[in-house]
Amino acid sequence: MTSISRRDFLAASSAAAFAPLLPAMDKLPKGKADSVIMLWLGGGAAHMDTFDPKRKGDAKAKKAGSYYDPIDTAVKGIQVCEHLKQTAKVMDRVVLLRGINHDVIDEHAAAVNRMHTGRPIAESVLYPSMGSVITSQLGPRSDKVPPYVVIGYPNVTRGPGFLGAKNGYVYLFETDSGPNGLTRPADVDAERQARREALLAKIREQQLKRHPGEPAIQEYATAAAEGFKLAGPDFMKVFNLKTESADLRNEYGGEFGQRCLLARRLVQSGVRFVEVSFNLNFVNGTGWDTHNEGQLNQHLIVQQLDQALGALITDLERCKRLDKTLIVVNTEFGRPPEFDGGGGRGHQSKAFSTVLAGGGLKTGQAIGVTDEIAKKIIDRPISVPDFFATIYHAMGIDTNIELSAGERPVPITDGGKPIKELFV
Nearest to 283 by CA among 313, 308, 310, 251: 308
Phi/psi region, residue 253 (left: phi>0; alpha: psi -120 to 50; beta: rest), is left
List the Cα angle 158/352/60 in 5-degree steps. 120
Assigned CATH class of 29-180+241-405+416-422? alpha beta
pLDDT at 1 (0 to 100): 41
pLDDT at 224 (0 to 100): 58
Percent of the chain, pLDDT > 90? 69
Nearest to 93 by CA among 264, 312, 250, 254: 312
pLDDT at 294 (0 to 100): 86
Buried b / exposed e along 13-26 (16+ C-beta atoms within 10 A): eeeeeeeeeeeebe
Residue 3's pLDDT band (cuts 50, 70, 90)? very low
Nearest to 314 by CA among 88, 53, 31: 88
The residue count for the chain = 424
Tens digit of each residue's pLDDT (9 = 90 or more) over 264-320: 999 999 999 999 999 766 677 889 999 888 899 999 999 999 999 999 999 999 999
pLDDT at 292 (0 to 100): 81
> What counts of helices (H) and strands (E) characterise the chain?
12, 15
Residue 324's pLDDT band (cuts 50, 70, 90)? very high
Q: Of 31-35, 191-195, 275-279, which range is least confident?
A: 191-195
Q: In this structure, are residues 339 and 66 in contact, taking their beta carbons and an 8 Å threshold?
A: no
Give every CB contact of residue 417 below 8 A, 6+ residues apart in sequence. 21, 25, 385, 386, 389, 399
User: Greater confidence, 225 or 268?
Assistant: 268
Helical residues (DSSP H) of 103-189, grouped into ranges: 108-117, 130-138
pLDDT at 23 (0 to 100): 46
pLDDT at 26 (0 to 100): 60
Tens digit of each residue's pLDDT (9 = 90 or more) over 98-135: 999 999 988 999 999 999 999 999 989 999 999 999 99
Q: Of 62-66, 79-83, 211-215, 228-232, which range is least confident?
A: 228-232
**Parallel/antiparallel/unpaired status of strands 325-330 and 273-277:** unpaired
Domain boundaries, the chain: 29-180+241-405+416-422, 184-230
